[in-house]
Structure 1
Amino acid sequence: MSHPRLSSQLLVLLALALSLLVPSAPASTIGIGPFATRTVQILFDGAGVPHVVASSTAGVYWGFGYSVGRARLLQMELLRRSVRGTLAEIYGEAFLEADVLARRDRVDPAELVKGPERAADRFRTALAAFTAGLNAAVAAVQARRLPPDPGFDTLGIAPSPFSETDVLDIFAGTMAARYNDFTQELDNLHLLNHLVRGLGARRASQAFEDVIFHHDPGVYTTLKGRSPLPVQLRHLPNFLPDAIPEGTLESPTLRSRKRNSLLKSIGIPEKSGSYAVALSMRPFGGKGSVLFGGPQMGYFKPSALFEIGLHCPEFDLVGTTPVGYFALLFGANRHLAFTATAGVANLVDLLALVPDPANPGLLLGDGLTLPLRQRTERFMVKGRPRPVERIIEETDLGPVIAAEGKVRYVKTRGWKGRVIDSYAAWFASNFAPTLTEWVGASDGMALSINWLGADRAGNIAYAYAGLGKSRKSFGDDRLPVRRPAHFPYPDVRLAGFNPPNGWFVNWNCPPVAGFRDGDLQTAWGADQRSAFLDDQLGRNRERLSPEFFRDLDRAIAGTDLRAWFFREELSRLIDPAALPVAAQQALVAMARWNGRRTDRNADGLLDDPGAGLFDRFWANLNTRLFGKVLGPFAWMVSSDPTWTQSSLLTRALRQTSSFDWLEGGSPTGVVTGVFLDTVQELASGGRALPAQPCPRMEFLPVNHVGAPTQTGPAAFTPFQNRGSDVQIISLTPEGIRVWGVLPPGNDACGPHAIDQLGAFQSFQFRERPLTLSQLARRVHRKAILQP
């Protein structure tokens, strides 16, 4: 089918055929011109956020692409290199492993070509226009009509044009091949093998079932009133742990974390979750609704997200999205507001296959024969005179990610072949006029995402958008298997509207009881952090309003979730009579602490000694209970102040676990002993508890060669467990108002690179104009461009 495109003959002139850049001026003195067919207006508010005004979809998305290129061109280049696997060319040997993983795990290039053919005209129009606008900015930088990011010179590279495939690959290589590509099955098998060797088969089975439990009925679910999904039958592993050779084995999970940590040093985000609340005011005597969201994609300078407004006769959109995406993931249109959190469903499996003895080029499973292919990848590495060659093995079902003994582990992804379909569905949801149509768009999603939405009439909706609801496993889904799972597409719809309590919350919890996370089930225990959000709303029913969410954001930022879930029960197990006076006083200090990690005087120390005491006590208790048995796998049950996955701790202390983690001791005796040792460790001889260091909130800058990893203006204490962007959206019959803060700023360079940092630190929000009438009062500068 044909669709509108910007003329390819004009690509050379796309930068600024007509550029009228109006200097900064008071917002009231710069007007918004009428929709024009031959020009695109880009209007900037006081925070430097661009709002594109055009007469057509093509014009709006041309302006979107141009705005991203103007503000984030180096970041776009690094994103492109991160998914292509060419970072070592500019950063050297340290990034070779990241490049190897990028090429091994890439989305099939053929899908990036064929996927758009199935998409709607509007998606293809936006893709073409966004790419053309981005290249207009590239041309303007090349011609010095726009200032280049100094990082290009530092790295010794120059801006170059992007193809439509490049733009799609940034989405596919991040949202699919990074944020939806996690598996812990081989780590779980290594754990089982470790336990068998240390404990014997029977006790190892008990310990394994405790750590990688099949289901915790106490886990919070977003659709609390919905009938649970049928519990899948359990299976024993159909090959034994002794298939793994002796010696040190590499953890795929820790290898991935190492890669992500390295990418973070140059500003490539990892997905660490997101929190969201959809609230209807109708059950509380009000009207309309509120949508609150905090996508947690790391803290970088520049931000992992980009804020934009898009305006044409057919639609208005405002919000944020990961840099390089042209679908808005978090924001509002004229009718409704939308946000999203990571779904963390079990979409990735490992197949344990063995070579055919008669033909090593074939891999065998249960009723399965796969050809094994090899390809040689060449990597340019800065500082090396010749390319480095690596052999990558792959099959029609996915890449080989590990080979141990005779076994090759093949990674299969449920979303394979449906990544661009998912992108098109997410894009289509931006324009939904009703929540019913918005939820309907989720049917096209294969990626694991939670969607939360609200409209002006007070309706709210939730949808688990992605595969896994009707998954059929052929083996224990916590471990590698010999036959791939089946993922129907499209899957059944799993959604809800207007719950009786008036709200939906999700902080990466399962959508409904019985929904499995398989190999990652440990994260879905009774201490799943969504319960904290639900509790905060329940305790504040009389205060629920848009203003309340500012306070909720502050509570989210500072609360030590370990203390919120566990402190009370742990304190009850400490016997004061067994403590000397100094330790009794320390116990009182820990009990009086308000549960938040703060540093009001900015001295780099936690304000309350009780916070530091609990932190050390928690670490020591977990080491005492799990360190000896789990050894290098203790990370599987470890929690930090921002993320809890330690429900085993409660079961161990309540003595409801299968394995005796107390080694015959009593809960009171063990916990009291660890607490006393902790106090003596921190304050021996009756000294007062010392204040402990407070973790910093650091917005890591793009790590140009020779540049420091952190600059003063982009850091403060304490660390705040918040979204990379935070939005509060009020929807009423009269209209929609959006407030947000995007730290440290919306640009990579210049005055708007860190101008939102102070507001973020002090929990201040700026209004984000959705309509042209709202925008008219906030325009500070204006550019008129002719594509």
Structure 2
Amino acid sequence: MPTLKNRILVPALTVALMAGTTAAPAAAVPVAFQHAQQGHGHGHGKGPKEHVEKNVTIKRDNYGVPHVYAKTIGGLYTGYGYAVAQDRMFQMEMAKRSVLGTAAEVIGESGVDNDKRSRATLDPESIQQQIDQLSEDDRAVLRGYARGYNKYVDKVLADQANLLPKQFTDFGFQPSHFTEYDVAMIWIGTMANRFSDSTSEVENLKVKNQLIAEHGADEGAKLFDQLIWTEDPSAPTTVPRAESVSTQSSGSHALAPIDPSVQDSSEDTAAAFGGQGWPHAAPEASNIWMVGKDKSTDGGSTLLNGPQFDWFNPSYVYGIGLHGAGIDVTGNTPFAYPSILFGTNKDITWGATAGPLDVNDIYQEDLNPANHKQYMFNGQYRDMTERTEQIAVKGSAPVDCTVQSTVHGTVTATDPQNNSAYSKKRAWKGTEVQSLLGWVNVMKAKNWDEYLAQAEKVGITINWYYADKSGNIGYVSPGKLPARPENQDFRVPAKGDGTMEWQGFRPFEDNPKTYNPEQGYVANWNNQSAAGFNSDGGNWSSVDRFNEITSRLESQEKFTPQEIWDINKETSFADLNIRYLRPHLESAIEYVPADDQLRSDADFLLEWDGQTVDKDKDGNYDGAAPTIMRSWLPKLSEAVLKDDLPQEVYDQYAASIYRKPGGSVRPAETTKLLTNALAGEDSAVPQSVDFFNGEDHGKVLRDTLKAATDELRETHGDDPAAWVTPVIPHEYKTKNFMGIPQADPSEALSTLQYMNRGTQNDLVHLNPKGASMCVAAPPGQSGFVAPDGTKSPHYQDQLELYTNFECKEENLYKNQLAQNLESVTNVK
């Protein structure tokens, strides 16, 4: 197993941090629960009266992780909500306000843009109707969580001098109660809307039109296909291609022109939710790898998950154990969701990465020239529906927010110049709460069939992973798949006049899935799920960071859990571009004399292991290779691509070559284009346009490398030892991914070097003899800061673990917990 730490550590950070000395309250005196909810959510559905369990126990381990024991679902989640309020009250308050669009009410004008985005992405009436239709047990999950959370809110409000988290005083307001709607909406707003709502169709259309305007219809269309292809048969897939069946249509259709200045709110939302903008707008979130009985040294299964949500203080994820009412699970989950996304029940374990399926379409609506609030559908103009809400703004006048919709969905952009509007249709609309409860109930699954039964209920696009104690492993990519008409080009908006409507939904059997693949492992790093499943924002290619994982899994026959864990460190520091350009550079300099300076410069890259690290801790990445690569790739990209692309299009590619000066979160999109161009006729993506313009490939590589190293000599001196790139620190932000404060700015944390890895990492090993789980979820379990500024001892006690690639062993069994018990709370 990885190096374990079962003691509280004092982190050694590269910034000065205030260390806390007293714990957050571990026990509570029972208080009367106010059934009259006072949260900011919509709808307080009545439903049948629920039995309220009187005895709920919370046992915390020596890292502050709560384990809740109860006999009923409602009781179990009462304890869960209570523990969350103890640890993360300010974070959860601001998460709720972020997704409901009420942040401006407490932080002022800086929250207005977020509130407008959030309100445009939700349908309060639909969500409440879905909640009202839940079974009694499923609804008890949401009600119990809200009840427990509110119990502790009441306790805090009754003793603010001792219990009120300092951030509330700093920001000048008090915590509010949660409703069952609020509990559901935190998951919907931060999971469904963040990872299942991205689209690049409008931006793709603008790029296509720019290419056509500059090169003509035929040449422009060819260039577009070379930039945004429909399928690359050489792209790595999580379901082995031999098991895949391509069923995606990729037709073509004509659309009205689009004003290049049109801003699609879907793009803005994707950027706000963690995407990077065109040409790869989808959020970059998560990797995973696991081996089964044929590739595990003991015949069991080992799963390592690294969900990449970015890094925050308090931690993006929350540790929890739930024990009772048919549930016996321990794990971590974002924003303390009622569903445990990364956990185990000791029979099986599961994980997740961001989903790759195309479950949204943008429709180009033809507007009535005389009335832009009407659009053409099935031969006649229809009125758009409108919903206007008022956003309260601290210190300023309220702001009106109007959300327009067509039969397809919310209007995301308007183009008055061309009498057009764009609206988004979601395949998963109406399944949000069902999807959440599918993830809740999968915690009870004991085998693959029971696991798949819950996956089938999930409407959003997400990747699910499975492993069990018998050594079986599996993967499924849930999500409602539209049955699109054959003439639709999924890369650009569909026609909204009624001639390009979905023809229902494809059966769940069509969703990508694999069980015990012959290769003995399953892995993913947000790559293509299976052959034939591309998306408007994916552009899957043979150039993929996924290969950093699989090359290591293919390197030996069997793995121990420790060896599975060790892969994490190498992938975290890998340069993601050199792997694909090295063979071409090697050929380019094959006949360059050994005493030529260009040859010795090229050798820095050819002999480099691709690891961007700072082992001597001098604040710079080791060796000249990282610096040469960061100088050469932009020059090579410019030399090969710039003359063929409109300036604005090229600039978008150039901006993403190395998004972080010290590293790249995924291979540059230009590396994909360069690799295809270098392959020429052998490229899996047809190269109709010669990006090299007939020039010798090797000469271009040599000339651009020489230009890069000449520039380095001019700016850094003749000695390559001085060609260094400063290390990028690993930062923990105090604003959540929507840009809303979730801690005081003074609580920002930083460690030495950026790591391209999970926000948290968990390793689970199962075999017939038992289960073990090891986790590092920085900074710590609790974000509690007392009124006097004292921090919980669990405020940052996982930070050093994470930085050093260590982890803490989870207490999966009662006897383990008893040996590492810190406190016991009875919630009555």
TM-score (norm 2): 0.84
Q: 1:529 aligns with which of 545, 554, 571?
A: 545
Q: Which residue of 1 aligns with 2:354?
A: 342
Task: Say if 2:798 is the partner of 1:756.
Answer: yes
**8 Å Cα contact 1:443/1:465 also seen in 2:** yes
* Distance in 2, Cα, partners of 1:653 & 1:614: 18
Identity percentage over the alignment?
27
Judge conservation of contact 1:14–1:139 (CA < 8 Å) in 2.
Answer: no
Q: How far 1:373 sits from its partner (Å)?
A: 2.1
Q: What CA distance in whole angstroms lies between the structure 2 residues aligned with 1:741 and 1:725?
A: 6
The answer to whether structure 1 residue 547 and structure 2 residue 565 are counterparts is no
Q: Is 1:185–1:479's contact at 8 Å kept on the other side of the alignment?
A: yes
Look up the SS of the partner of 1:72 in the other structure: helix
Q: What residue in structure 2 maps to residue 114 of structure 1? A: 129
Q: Which residue of 2 aligns with 1:686?
A: 718
Alignment of 1:577-616 (within 5 A): 577=592, 581-616=596-631
1:642 is aligned to 665
Distance change in 2, residues 1:678/1:359 (3 Å): closer
Partner residue in 1 for 2:810: 768
1:707 Cα deviation from its structure 2 partner: 8.6
Q: When the two structures are aligned, how many residues end up with a matched partner?
A: 744
| 1:67 CA displacement | 1.0
One of 90, 93, 96 as aligned partner of 1:74: 90
What's the CA shift for 1:233?
3.8
Deviations 1:567-589 (A, max 9, x none): 33344334673998444322112
Q: Are residues 1:458 and 2:471 paired?
A: yes
Q: Which residue of 1 aligns with 2:759?
A: 724
Q: Deviations over 1:701-759 (max 9, x none)?
A: 248989985767x2122211111111111101011111111011111132212111101
- Counterpart contact for 2:80–2:145, Cα < 8 Å: yes
The one-letter amino acid paired with 1:323 is F
Query: Structure 1 residues 440 and 472, CA, compared in 2 at 3 Å: closer, same or farther?
Result: farther
Provide the C-alpha distance between the structure 2 equivalents of 1:102 and 1:94, rounded to a whole number of angstroms.
14
Q: Give runs of aligned pairs for residues 277-288 of structure 1, distance below 5 A.
A: 277-282=289-294, 286-288=298-300
Relative to 1, partners in 2 of residues 1:46 and 1:485: Cα closer, same or farther, differing over 3 Å?
Answer: same
CA contact (8 A) 1:463 1:494 kept: yes
Once residues 682 and 170 of structure 1 are traced to their aligned partners in structure 2, the CA distance between those partners, rounded to angstroms, is: 49
Look up the equivalent residue of 1:316 and give its one-letter code.
D
Which one of 318, 328, 339 corresponds to residue 316 of structure 1?
Answer: 328
Worse-matched range after superposition: 298-307 or 394-403: 394-403
The answer to whether the Cα contact below 8 Å between 2:351 and 2:464 also exists between their aligned partners in 1 is: yes
Q: Structure 1 CA distance, aligned partners of 2:115 and 2:578?
A: 39
Q: Separation in 2 of the partners of 1:209 and 1:610?
A: 33
* Letter paired with 1:344: P
User: How far did 1:137 drift?
Assistant: 1.7
Structure 1 portions without partners, runs of 5+: 1-7, 16-35, 264-269
Contact 1:349 1:484 in 2 (8 A): no
1:172-211 alignment to 2 at 5 Å? 172-211=188-227
- Offset at residue 259 of structure 1 (A): 2.7
Partner of 1:539: helix, strand, or coil? Answer: coil
Q: Does 2:138 match 1:123? A: yes
- String of CA shifts for 1:152-201, please: whole Å, max 9, x gaps: 11111110101111111111122222221101000001101111222222
CA distance in 1, matches of 2:695, 2:201: 32
Q: Aligned partner of 2:343: which letter?
A: G
Partner of 1:485: 502
Provide the residue aligned with 1:655 in structure 2. Answer: 680
Query: Secondary structure at 2:444's aligned position in 1?
Result: coil
**Kept after mapping to 2: 8 A contact 1:167/1:324:** no
Match of 1:509 in 2: 527
Relative to structure 1, the CA distance from residue 300 to residue 204 in structure 2 (aligned partners, 3 Å threshold; closer, same or farther) is: same
What's the secondary structure of 1:547's corresponding residue? helix
**Contact 2:773–2:812, Cα closer than 8 Å, also in 1:** yes
Give the 3-state SS of the residue equivalent to 1:178 in structure 2: helix
Partner of 2:338: 326
Task: Decide whether aligned partners of structure 1 residues 216 and 12 sit closer, same or farther in structure 2, where only a CA change above 3 A counts.
Answer: same
Q: Does 1:563 pair with 2:578?
A: yes
- 2:821 aligned counterpart, secondary structure: coil
Q: Structure 2: where are the runs of 5+ without partners?
A: 1-29, 38-51, 277-281, 659-663, 682-686, 785-791
Counterpart residue number, 2:437: 424
CA contact (8 A) 2:471 2:767 kept: yes
Question: What residue is the counterpart of 1:467 in the other structure?
Answer: 480
Q: Distance in 2 between matches of 1:90 and 1:116?
A: 28
Tell me, in whole angstroms, the C-alpha distance in 1 between the residues paired with 2:593 and 2:403: 60
1:583–1:128: structure 2 CA closer, same or farther, 3 Å change rule?
A: same
* Cα RMSD (Å): 2.9
Question: Which residue number corresponds to residue 303 of structure 2?
Answer: 291
Stretch deviating more after TM superposition (527-536 or 178-187): 527-536
Worse-matched range after superposition: 616-625 or 769-778: 616-625
Question: Which residue in 2 is equivalent to 1:379?
Answer: 391
Would the aligned equivalents of 2:286 and 2:526 in 1 still touch at CA under 8 Å?
Answer: yes
Contact residue 277 and residue 452 of structure 1 kept, 8 A: no
TM-score normalised per structure 1: 0.89
| Aligned partners of 1:218 and 1:526 also within 8 Å | yes
- Equivalent residues of 2:332, 2:342 under 8 A apart: yes
The code of the aligned residue for 1:169 comes to: M
Deviation at 1:341, TM superposition (A): 0.9
Give the match's secondary structure for 2:194. Answer: coil
CA shift, 1:75, in A, is 0.9
* Separation in 2, partners of 1:382, 1:66: 29
Counterpart check, 1:738 vs 2:780: no
Answer whether contact 1:215 1:521 (CA < 8 A) is retained.
no
Shift of 1:774: 2.2
Distance 1:51 1:230 in 2: 45
| Paired residues of 1:309 and 1:318 also in contact (CA < 8 A) | yes
Q: 1:95-127 deviations in whole A, cap 9, x for unaligned?
A: 322221111122x11222221344444321211
Aligned-residue offset at 1:58: 2.0
CA contact (8 A) 1:278 1:504 kept: yes
Shift of 1:57: 2.3
- Counterparts of 1:624 and 1:708, CA distance in 2: 46
CA distance in 2, matches of 1:260, 1:378: 23
Contact kept in structure 2, 1:435 and 1:453, CA below 8 Å: yes
2:89 touches 2:165 (CA, 8 Å); kept in 1?
yes
Q: Which of 727, 731, 738 matches 1:698?
A: 731
3-state SS of paired residue (1:499) = coil
Q: Is the 8 A contact 1:462 1:504 kept in 2?
A: yes
Matches within 5 A, 1:351-362: 351-356=363-368, 360-362=372-374
